Amino acid sequence: MARSRSGTRGKRGPRKPPRRDFSQSAVQTLDPSAVGPVEIPATITVKDLADLLKVNPADVIRELIKSGIFATINQLIDRETATLVAEELGYAVSETTAAAAAEEAAEEAVAEAAKPSIFDEDATADLQPRAPIVTVMGHVDHGKTSLLDAIRSTAVASGERGGITQHIGASEVTKNGRRIVFLDTPGHEAFTAMRARGARVTDIAIIVVAADDGVMPQTLEAIAHARAAKVPIVVALNKIDKPDANPDRVKTELTEANVVIEEYGGDVPMVPVSAKARTGLEDLLEVVLLVADLQELKADPRRPAAGTIVEAELDKGRGPVATALVQTGTLHVGDAVVVGQTYGKVRAMEDARGKRVTKAGPSSAVVLLGISEVPEAGDVLEVVEDERKARAVAEERRAAAAARESGSGRATLEDLYRQIQAGQAKELRIVLKADVSGSLGAITHALEQIATDEVKINILHEGAGDITDNDILLASASDAIVVGFNTSITPTARRSAESEGVDVRSYDIIYKLTDDIEAALSGMLEPVLVEQVEGRAEVRQVFRVGKSTVIAGCYVTEGRIVRNSGARVWRSGKVITTDRIESLRRFRDDVREVAQNFECGIGLADFHDIVEGDIIESFTQQQVSRAVGR
């Protein structure tokens, strides 16, 4: 998988001076200094850049490899990357090119944020009402699955169209001649995992609360998730058939959680139902439609389709199969599509009932064939002019993702002050967990005291217990930090915090917590770094690519080797140098990490005198809160 750009000069530190000695280079045909400053266009292929610089394309590729970019000869790279390569090869770049490259790099982040969404409708479009898309969430065993099943089978039993036979990740029911689309994966995990990837598919969240059990921790989580996503809530008060059902208790508990139902003067509808006895289901659907009406959900069926993948898998016979939710426009068989970082041409489609269709309009779920690789749930689907364009966009996205990967864009306390200064941060969002609910109020109160005029403190979710995967997901999707008080973090949550780049802080004394946040608000917070050895690899063979690129063919003997981590080279029991793992490959793919008992190719940033038998140790530095372990 080749990547077309790094875009990471700023992240990789200052530009290095040219270090090639051209007098000895066999392929070099011209003295760079005789060429004069070169002009580089906004994008250029590797081959054209080589022509421009009068060097062998292999030289350009080698320079790119040094920056961790594995490009092919016909691949487009951007001006910033090309400028870097030209400079590394000893060329002067014209001032206008250099200025443009710097400006483009700076503007990139801003442009990315301000990019219009493909879901935005044209101001002149003829918008038509569209069906609502609903997610069912709530505490475990409160009846989410039963409710979905009951709704689907009732819609069929009552003689209306609806209900599906196969599991495709979404289903449609019809009520009063109007369609309602349900996402089939109940629970806020899937919902938030998709939202963390930028997908916004849900129009309405049904929060199921069992009348005999009341508001439970996951109910509160579900509420927090829906609120963070600004999705209106409908409460389904389930299991009202049970003798010990206690609706009044649930209503009070909801009010305590700031969900004030209509009966109590609020704006959240509540519908008593029984998934088991199949009562109240029609009322629930009516209410969903009413809430949908208030939202005035509209889309333009005539525009090219845009949607989100809700499920995807590799089918042995049919290749990648994906369920897409078309959110606006109409998707046709034969359309060229970009789907996240992959692309394709729609070969065939089936609707939510398993019927072959040739087109799918706004708010419809379809299974589609013809995508080149299996996309991920949450990936955006977008129709483009033709397959060529689809491929180009997919490659661009892949490159952008690689660039993002090397620099975390997530909120951290250390970064907060810079964001405030840049006017990017107006509030500090926090997911708060504490050992006992009694502490929560005290901490919230203390935090409220330190909000400033410029920065609000917004507690997205608070709860008692360990920091879990869900907390990390919520923080990741909402650019929040996670604060734990006298509580621990589950191992899986720790792993996802690392991979999502979520800042997790643990404290055991309230004033330390408030001190840190105060310091962050005033730009005084210094990161505390702790080193962690990730793993070790033994060098089995050394490959020299040209003069200065050396790849160590290694076998990972312990832990894992992580790209861009620090690297210590051990020889005969002594550390001979400390460097950085600049490139990491498995076979021909560059990868983020390689696990124990696997082979890999490691390229170090500066040290090139690696020999067989050396041990490369991969280590990372992690930011820790000062309150941890003190």
Asked if 199 contacts 172 with a C-beta cutoff of 8 angstroms, the reply is: no
Up-side HSE of residue 67: CA atoms within 13 Å toward CB? Answer: 33
Nearer to ligand GDP, 160 or 241 (CB): 241
- Give the up-direction half-sphere exposure of residue 460: CA atoms within 13 A in the CB hemisphere: 28
Q: Exposure of 494 by Cβ count < 10 A (0-12 exposed, 13-18 middle, 19+ buried)?
A: middle
Measured from the CB atom, the residue of 146 and 468 that comes closer to ligand GDP is 146
138 vs 370, beta carbon nearer ligand GDP? 138
Nearer Cβ to ligand GDP, position 145 or 153? 145
Pairing label, strands 298-299, 128-129: antiparallel
Which region, judged by CB under 6 A, interacts with ligand GDP, from 121-129, 136-144, 476-484, 542-550? 136-144
Instruction: Tell whether residue 167 is a contact of ligand GDP (CB under 6 A).
Output: no
Q: Residue 355: CB partners within 8 Å, gap ≥ 6?
A: none
CB neighbours of residue 73 within 10 Å: 14
Span of 133-141, 199-207, 223-231, 549-557 interacting with ligand GDP by CB under 6 A: 133-141
Instruction: Please answer whether residues 196 and 473 qualify as being in contact, where contact means their C-beta atoms are separated by less than 8 angstroms.
Output: yes
Angle 118-124-127 from CA coordinates, rounded to 5°: 75
The sign of the CA dihedral 47, 53, 54, 60 is negative
What's the CA gap between 239 and 147, in Å, rounded?
A: 10
Say if CB 27 and CB 547 are below 8 A apart: no
Distance CA 17, CA 98 (A): 15
Report d(CA 509, CA 630) in Å as an integer.
11
Q: Specify the residue, 241 or 515, whose C-beta has the smaller distance to ligand GDP.
A: 241
Shortest spacing between CB 437 and ligand GDP, in angstroms: 23
Angstrom distance (rounded) from CA 470 to CA 16: 42
In the set 3, 130, 142, 225, which binds ligand GDP (CB under 6 A)? 142
Sign of the Cα torsion 346, 350, 355, 358 reads: negative
Minimum CB distance to ligand GDP smaller for 221 or for 382:
221
Rounded CA gap, 331 and 352, in Å? 14
Check residue 144 for interaction with ligand GDP (CB under 6 A).
yes
Two structure tokens written together for 233: 């809530």
Q: Does 241 bind ligand GDP (CB under 6 A)?
A: yes
Residue from 141, 160, 500, 579 that binds ligand GDP (CB under 6 A)?
141
Exposed/middle/buried for 453, CB within 10 Å: 0-12, 13-18, 19+?
Answer: exposed
Min dist. Cβ of residue 171 to ligand GDP (A):
15
Shortest CB 208 distance to ligand GDP, Å = 6
Q: Does residue 8 bind ligand GDP (CB under 6 A)?
A: no
Decide: is 140 part of the binding site for ligand GDP (CB under 6 A). yes
Cβ pair 130, 199 in contact under 8 A:
no
The interface region with ligand GDP, picked from 234-242, 249-257, 332-340, 447-455 by CB under 6 A, is 234-242
Q: Give the span between the Cα atoms of 488 and 347, in whole angstroms.
A: 49
What DSSP element (H or E) covers 85? helix 79-88
| Residue 276 Cβ vs ligand GDP, minimum distance, rounded to whole Å | 3
How many angstroms separate the CA atoms of 61 and 629, rounded?
A: 47
Q: How far is the CB of 525 from ligand GDP (least distance, A)?
A: 41
Q: Which of 387, 403, 409 is nearest to 339 (CA)?
A: 387
Stretch that binds ligand GDP, among 40-48, 137-145, 389-397, 440-448 (CB under 6 A): 137-145
Helix (H) / strand (E) containing 298: strand 298-299
Nearer to ligand GDP, 93 or 237 (CB): 237
Q: Which is nearer to ligand GDP, 208 or 381 (CB)?
A: 208
Residue 601 interacting with ligand GDP (CB under 6 A): no
Which positions from 297 to 326 touch ligand GDP by CB under 6 A, shown as an x/- string?
------------------------------
Task: Kindly state the smallest distance separating residue 244's Cβ from ligand GDP, in Å.
Answer: 10
Q: What is the DSSP letter of 54?
A: T
CA 123 vs CA 114, 127, 132, 383: distances in Å: 18, 9, 21, 19
H or E element, residue 447: helix 437-450
Shortest Cβ distance from residue 162 to ligand GDP (Å)?
A: 19
| 17-25, 125-133, 142-150, 595-603 -> range binding ligand GDP (CB under 6 A) | 142-150
Shorter beta-carbon distance to ligand GDP: residue 279 or 548:
279
Total interface residues for ligand GDP by CB under 6 A = 16
- The answer to whether residue 391 forms part of the interface with ligand GDP (CB under 6 A) is no
- Of the pair 144, 563, the CB lying nearest ligand GDP is at 144
Please say which residue, 143 or 304, places its beta carbon nearer to ligand GDP.
Answer: 143
> Is there binding between residue 282 and ligand GDP (CB under 6 A)?
no
* Site track for ligand GDP across 332-371, x = CB under 6 A: ----------------------------------------
Q: 146 or 625: whose CB is closer to ligand GDP?
A: 146
Binders of ligand GDP among 257-276, rule CB under 6 A?
Answer: 274-276
What is the distance in angstroms between the CA of the first residue and the CA of the last residue of the chain? 45
Binding mask 61-100 for ligand GDP (x = CB under 6 A): ----------------------------------------
Residue 48: CA atoms inside 13 Å, Cβ hemisphere, count?
15
Contact map string, positions 172 to 191, toward ligand GDP, x by CB under 6 A: --------------x-----
Query: Between the CA of residue 352 and those of 154, 246, 400, what are the distances in Å?
Result: 16, 37, 33
Tell me if 143 contacts ligand GDP by CB under 6 A: yes
Distance in Å, CB of 224 to ligand GDP, minimum: 18
Nearer to ligand GDP, 35 or 216 (CB): 216
Interface segment toward ligand GDP; rule CB under 6 A; list 13-21, 141-149, 221-229, 459-467: 141-149
Regarding 242 and contact with ligand GDP (CB under 6 A), the answer is yes
Q: How far is the CB of 242 from ligand GDP (least distance, A)?
A: 5
Tell me whether residue 142 or residue 536 sits nearer to ligand GDP (CB atom). 142
Classify burial at 479, counting beta carbons within 10 Å of its beta carbon; exposed 0-12, middle 13-18, buried 19 or more: middle
Among 5, 62, 188, 239, binds ligand GDP (CB under 6 A): 239
Where on the chain is the footprint of ligand GDP (CB under 6 A)?
Answer: 138, 140-146, 186, 238-239, 241-242, 274-276
